[in-house]
Amino acid sequence: MNAPILSLCGIQQTYTSRNASGWGSTRVRAVDGIDLDVFEGETLAIVGESGSGKSTLAKLLLMLTSPTSGKALFNGKDFASLDGELRHQFRREVQAVFQDPASSLNPRMTIEKTLRFIVKRHALRSATDIRPFLADCLMRVGLNPPERYLERYPHELSGGQQQRVAIARAMMMAPKVIVADEPLSSLDVSVQAQILDLMKSLRTLTNVGFVVISHDLGAMHSIADRTAVMYRGRIVEIGENIYTHPRHPYTKLLLDARLTADPTRGRIRSMASAPSMPTLAATPNGCRFRPRCHYAVALCETADPMLRPMPIGQTQVACHRAEELSRHFEIPGGGQRAPSTGDSLKA
């Protein structure tokens, strides 16, 4: 694999949060010591529940916030020390797509004005070439015929069309990576599938990479080359086949909790059956997943598990019992044997 475009090295992001009582405040580690590489042409999904630190991680990858500690690298260089030209290169090559496309487009400008502004600002085309360039950009994201969309205002477009415009705006810069923070969550399910297809085809056509932040594991399964599972500011599992061969109990919990009609059991399983995530301010000793883990043993109370490579597959897991548990985690249709409850392994 090539050298990473983006790297986070031991990155931490801490916030001060006012206590619910109104008295005093607490330091909260939204991201707590993460190492992560992002490569050109790959789709990396970052999944987890609300409050797991996904969006803070997206901001760190986009260098929209300075880390409390650790380093963010762009093409191997510390972002904090980049000069003006390299920062400009970063802003071109690493683009963002946000959750709510309507709020990311100026409501007072037509789509043409919005896109034209960016072309001029970055001197992407000469004045005579701008209109054909914009038309081509919209056609590439499936807005055809483009003239119909260029003259409209954002409120005259559907949510899916607005998200296509947001993706077209990012693609205009010929980026190496697009960081998309919950790009599907405001869209209908059928439109979500279309946007996923669009991302796949853009990747095939241009080799652009995507980092997609999402709580929707089903959607991510269909596009991700690698998936990082976040829990309380840490990556607890990262690899290529976490959907069929989960190794961390939290990954297994998320996969079981997908609101899915399970044909093998004839019932709906939902996240509501799982204990909820404790507040970020109250990180337990030892493994931070311990209060919710059915498989915790004495070691989990005293030793904080670090991400470590598994003997088989390109997966890293932060669990003391990962090798043992992974043999018994079953994903329906995933081809693994064993009781789904894992009762025989419970501590």
Residues binding ligand SF4 (CB under 6 A) = 249, 287, 289-290, 293, 295-296, 300, 305, 319-321
The smaller minimum CB distance to ligand SF4, of residues 332 and 342, is found at: 342
The smaller minimum CB distance to ligand SF4, of residues 205 and 347, is found at: 347
Kindly state the smallest distance separating residue 271's Cβ from ligand SF4, in Å.
17
The smaller minimum CB distance to ligand SF4, of residues 119 and 293, is found at: 293
Query: Which residues have a Cβ under 8 Å from the Cβ of 188 and sit 6 or more positions away?
Result: 159, 160
Kindly state the smallest distance separating residue 237's Cβ from ligand SF4, in Å.
10
Q: Residue 260: is it exposed, middle or buried by C-beta count within 10 angstroms (0-12/13-18/19+)?
A: middle
The smaller minimum CB distance to ligand SF4, of residues 114 and 316, is found at: 316
Round to whole Å and give the CA distance between 145 and 156. Answer: 15
Kindly state the smallest distance separating residue 318's Cβ from ligand SF4, in Å.
7
Kindly state the smallest distance separating residue 229's Cβ from ligand SF4, in Å.
11
Q: Residue 304: is it exposed, middle or buried by C-beta count within 10 angstroms (0-12/13-18/19+)?
A: middle
Q: Which residues of 224-258 are buried (b: 16+ CB within 10 A; e: fewer)?
A: bebbbbbbbbbbbbbbeebbebbbbbbbbbbbbbe
The smaller minimum CB distance to ligand SF4, of residues 243 and 295, is found at: 295
DSSP secondary structure, 144-209, as one string = -SHHHHHTS-GGGS-HHHHHHHHHHHHHTT--SEEEEESTTTTS-HHHHHHHHHHHHHHHHHH--E
Kindly state the smallest distance separating residue 242's Cβ from ligand SF4, in Å.
14
The smaller minimum CB distance to ligand SF4, of residues 284 and 313, is found at: 284
Kindly state the smallest distance separating residue 287's Cβ from ligand SF4, in Å.
3
